[in-house]
Structure 1
Amino acid sequence: MQIAPLSPHDPTELGGYELLGRIGHGGMGQVYLGESPGGEPAAVKVIKPSVVDSETRQRFAQEVEILKTIWGARIAALLDADPEADRPWLATEYIEGLDLSRHVASHGPLPSLLTASLGATLAEALATVHKQGLLHRDLKPANVLLGPNGPKIIDFGLAVFAESSVSLTAPNTVVGTPSCMPPEQANGEKPLTPAVDVYALGAVLLFAASGHLPYQAANIHVLFHQVTDPAKAPDLSGVPDELVPLLTAMLAHQAQDRPALDDVVKQCRAVIEAQGFKVAQARRRLTSHTAAPPQILDSLLPPAEAPTVPLSPAGEPEAGATAEPPTTGTGTETTHVLPPTGPDRTPTLVDHPGPQPEAAGARGPAQKPPSAPTADTGRTQAPLPAPGPPARSRGGRPRHSAQARITAQRLREAYAASATF
């Protein structure tokens, strides 16, 4: 997830949450990365002052009430909210990771095994939501976050709340994302059924497997015409053969022709098991493949002042002095440094499980393992050498020469200069 620094006009605190950076924004609000007094990260959504009025507050309050009713392991949970504040806000669980749209843009489409795992996971999550009497109605790649514990669905509130009351929805208004919207929703039909989320999930899985959506057009009117035209079939180019029957059914023009979510889970399981995997194995591979390197939230916090540790001429802390973590800067100013992150992280193997290595000594001397091709690049990865013990001085402490300290200092300054925050 991209995090931008706060601007001079942004608040620094809301409802007890310290705001650390910007996560995203929309037409009505801004989303910040916040931290509770106890250190819990949260995504804090704030309505823009320019659009705060009685109707907006009513809509926002209804969104909060709807979010209170949604629960599930794959749903970003509501933490707190205050729709009556001068700047109405709500805080939800913060999920560290890219959304599906950004992940595919950076790393390419998912293999069929991982797409099927994603489908089973999200279909099961949506089925739980439907049992609570709610629909998402705006599921799309940007609303699926790929966190360190697996994918989670976000942004229920605005979509559900936008159509939950006639008094809050303008006549002849269609709410949702056209490129993932089923024909009945694009035509403004009401009431909508769970089949709208089945269609949208099909569009999400199509995007995950191929990198494109069912219909594409530069003009919004042309796009709506494509979606609502029964003679215009969705574009399934680039989809692996084993997923074509499932996505064809999920993207059926008529709602009654789409499978139920339970059937989607079963068909996704069949795709996974046909490749020799258990569903739990595929889930773990999906998480390993999509998890982004963790951000260091400390880097967004104001630097804490720490006492200077005097050093002896030999470069060791003097007796009785307390060693502090190394920082860049001068005087009492400290700078926390982010490690390099981005799309060049090591991909995860997703091919069939091979034979297990034999026990040590079964084939004589240990052999160096061969390089393995990665799933999404085809390149080989040389095995990393085993790390050896750090050099030690006679006193038993790690040995750091003066030149090593100078080199480390320069590296930290270089990283600090190129860091995002």
Structure 2
Amino acid sequence: MPITPLSPEDPAELGGYELLGRIGHGGMGQVYLGESPGGEPAAVKVIKPSVVDSETRQRFAQEVEILKTVGGARVAALLDADPEADPPWLATEYVEGLDLSKHVGSHGPLPALLTASLGATLAEALATVHKQKLLHRDLKPANVLLGPNGPKIIDFGLAVFAESSVSLTAPNTVVGTPSCMPPEQANGEKPLTPKVDVYALGAVLLFAVSGHLPYRADNIHVLFHQVVRPTIAPDLSGVPEELVPLLTAMLAHQAQDRPPLDEVVRQCRALIEAQGVKVAQARRRLTSYTAAPTHFLDELLAVPRPGRSSAASAEAVTVTVDTPPDRQQPVSTPPSQQPLVPPPAAPGRTSADPADTPAVPPRTAAPSPTARSKDRGATGRRSLRHSAQARITAQRLREAYAASTPF
């Protein structure tokens, strides 16, 4: 997940959050990495001034109201928002790590055991959302963040109340990601039911374990045709045998044929426990396997050493999670032939809890505090956010970025 410096046109602060860099963008707006006066990191979403009108502002306000009602340990929380501001903005919990799409793209599909753990975790999280009478409606690999404390679901901008036919979009308009969209949603049926999220979760788990989605086509019209035709089955190639029955059921064409989320949790748990692993242990393995090794905020706020040029400072804060050396080897075993439980640790290795041994070689360890302190000069720690040095550093970054970027 690259964090790039702010451009000269970017605001330095919004709603009390000091903006530190860019972490993403879309057709409607920009997402910044921000920090509250008390040091709390946040993902600050801002609507582009060029698209702000009364309708956009209303939809943004509805998104904020929905986010206020969404809760749960596996959902990125709303921190603050002001839909009436110019420009409108909202701040959500910042999750340090790759999304599932980027992780699989960089490191390959997850082992079957970890996919089952991911399924149990996300199904439980979605069940909590459904109890609040909400549907996600756009669950996809890019909306699952793999943080240091486990996966979290983001982007409820398309969420609707489960018991209502009222949506955030115009009548007869289909909104969502077609490759993860169930047939009834692609056909524009209203009202939608919780089974739309069951289907989308099945598509996410299929991608996690195989590296591809249920349907693939270069043309969006062909893709919609594949999704809505009951005679065209989803592509389950590369799925380990143990997971085929569950994913087949979750991706059923008819909503009533899909299992409820509590049944998804039960089946994922059964798959895990059948291999002699506890569910909590499998979740710890998942987090160990997917957690990002780089501390974005520490690197971003590091005070440049004396004598370094502003260009070097700008380069130092463009942080990217690279593929660790131990994860760059090609996978020699096809996903369909991978065992549900990864191979045990090498003989002679001791552990207080052998069942908690990571399923794969551990990632490269993060630098120790001592090592990081050497990179931060004599102080041994980063400066305060509102110190003079921090503001000088920010100004240097802006100048360096403006000098190298055409606007």
TM range (shorter): 0.7 to 0.9
The equivalent position to 1:329 in structure 2, one of 291, 294, 307, is 307
How far residue 301 of structure 1 moved from its aligned partner, in angstroms, is 3.9
> What is the alpha-carbon distance in structure 2 between the residues aligned to residue 85 and residue 6 of structure 1?
20
How far residue 36 of structure 1 moved from its aligned partner, in angstroms, is 0.5
Amino acid at match of 2:230: P
How far residue 160 of structure 1 moved from its aligned partner, in angstroms, is 3.3
CA contact 2:3–2:320 (8 Å) conserved in 1: no
Give the 3-state SS of the residue equivalent to 1:270 in structure 2.
helix
- For residue 123 of structure 2, what is the aligned residue in structure 1? 123
Deviates more, 1:128-137 or 1:332-341: 332-341
Give the 3-state SS of the residue equivalent to 1:123 in structure 2.
helix
CA contact 1:34–1:43 (8 Å) conserved in 2: yes
CA contact 1:120–1:264 (8 Å) conserved in 2: yes
How far residue 263 of structure 1 moved from its aligned partner, in angstroms, is 0.4
Q: Size of the alignment, in residue pairs?
A: 350
- For residue 220 of structure 2, what is the aligned residue in structure 1? 220
CA contact 1:162–1:175 (8 Å) conserved in 2: no
> What is the alpha-carbon distance in structure 2 between the residues aligned to residue 188 and residue 106 of structure 1?
34
Q: Trace 1:380-395 onto structure 2 (pairs within 5 A).
A: none
Q: Which has the larger share of helix?
A: 2
How far residue 171 of structure 1 moved from its aligned partner, in angstroms, is 2.5
The superposition leaves residues 84-131 of structure 1 with CA deviations (integer Å, 9 ceiling, x where unpaired) of: 101000000000000000000000000100000000000000000000
CA contact 1:63–1:161 (8 Å) conserved in 2: no
- For residue 171 of structure 1, what is the aligned residue in structure 2? 171
Q: Trace 1:306-317 onto structure 2 (pairs within 5 A).
A: none
Compared CA separation, residues 334 and 19, structure 1 to 2 (3 A): same
Deviates more, 1:180-189 or 1:170-179: 170-179
> What is the alpha-carbon distance in structure 2 between the residues aligned to residue 243 and residue 174 of structure 1?
30
Compared CA separation, residues 332 and 167, structure 1 to 2 (3 A): closer
How far residue 303 of structure 1 moved from its aligned partner, in angstroms, is 4.5
- For residue 291 of structure 1, what is the aligned residue in structure 2? 291
Q: Trace 1:188-203 onto structure 2 (pairs within 5 A).
A: 188-203=188-203
Q: Identity of paired residues, percent?
A: 78
Instruction: In structure 1, list runs of 5 or more residues that go unmatched.
Output: 305-326, 361-373, 388-419
CA contact 2:215–2:227 (8 Å) conserved in 1: yes
Amino acid at match of 1:134: L
> What is the alpha-carbon distance in structure 2 between the residues aligned to residue 250 and residue 210 of structure 1?
16
> What is the alpha-carbon distance in structure 2 between the residues aligned to residue 121 and residue 200 of structure 1?
14
How far residue 354 of structure 1 moved from its aligned partner, in angstroms, is 5.4
Give the 3-state SS of the residue equivalent to 2:115 in structure 1.
helix
Q: Is the aligned partner of 1:344 residue 2:324?
A: yes
Q: Trace 1:84-99 onto structure 2 (pairs within 5 A).
A: 84-99=84-99
Amino acid at match of 2:110: L
Give the 3-state SS of the residue equivalent to 2:135 in structure 1.
coil
Give the 3-state SS of the residue equivalent to 1:33 in structure 2.
strand
Give the 3-state SS of the residue equivalent to 1:8 in structure 2.
coil
Give the 3-state SS of the residue equivalent to 2:158 in structure 1.
helix
> What is the alpha-carbon distance in structure 2 between the residues aligned to residue 301 and residue 175 of structure 1?
38
Q: Is the aligned partner of 1:78 residue 2:96?
A: no
Compared CA separation, residues 340 and 205, structure 1 to 2 (3 A): closer
> What is the alpha-carbon distance in structure 1 between the residues aligned to residue 176 and residue 211 of structure 2?
20
Q: Which has the higher contact order (CA 8 A, sep 6+)?
A: 2
- For residue 255 of structure 1, what is the aligned residue in structure 2? 255
Amino acid at match of 2:224: F
CA contact 1:74–1:151 (8 Å) conserved in 2: yes
Amino acid at match of 1:344: P
Give the 3-state SS of the residue equivalent to 2:160 in structure 1.
helix
The superposition leaves residues 46-72 of structure 1 with CA deviations (integer Å, 9 ceiling, x where unpaired) of: 000011111111111111111000000
Instruction: In structure 2, list runs of 5 or more residues that go unmatched.
Output: 329-338, 352-357, 369-399, 402-407
The superposition leaves residues 282-332 of structure 1 with CA deviations (integer Å, 9 ceiling, x where unpaired) of: 10000000001132424434858xxxxxxxxxxxxxxxxxxxxxx252599
Per the normalisation by structure 2, the TM-score is 0.78
> What is the alpha-carbon distance in structure 2 between the residues aligned to residue 330 and residue 5 of structure 1?
17
- For residue 279 of structure 2, what is the aligned residue in structure 1? 279
Compared CA separation, residues 262 and 9, structure 1 to 2 (3 A): same
How far residue 142 of structure 1 moved from its aligned partner, in angstroms, is 0.1
CA contact 2:18–2:34 (8 Å) conserved in 1: yes
Amino acid at match of 2:239: V
Per the normalisation by structure 1, the TM-score is 0.76
> What is the alpha-carbon distance in structure 2 between the residues aligned to residue 172 and residue 340 of structure 1?
41
Give the 3-state SS of the residue equivalent to 2:171 in structure 1.
coil
> What is the alpha-carbon distance in structure 1 between the residues aligned to residue 60 and residue 164 of structure 2?
13
Deviates more, 1:18-27 or 1:232-241: 18-27
CA contact 2:198–2:250 (8 Å) conserved in 1: yes
CA contact 2:178–2:223 (8 Å) conserved in 1: yes
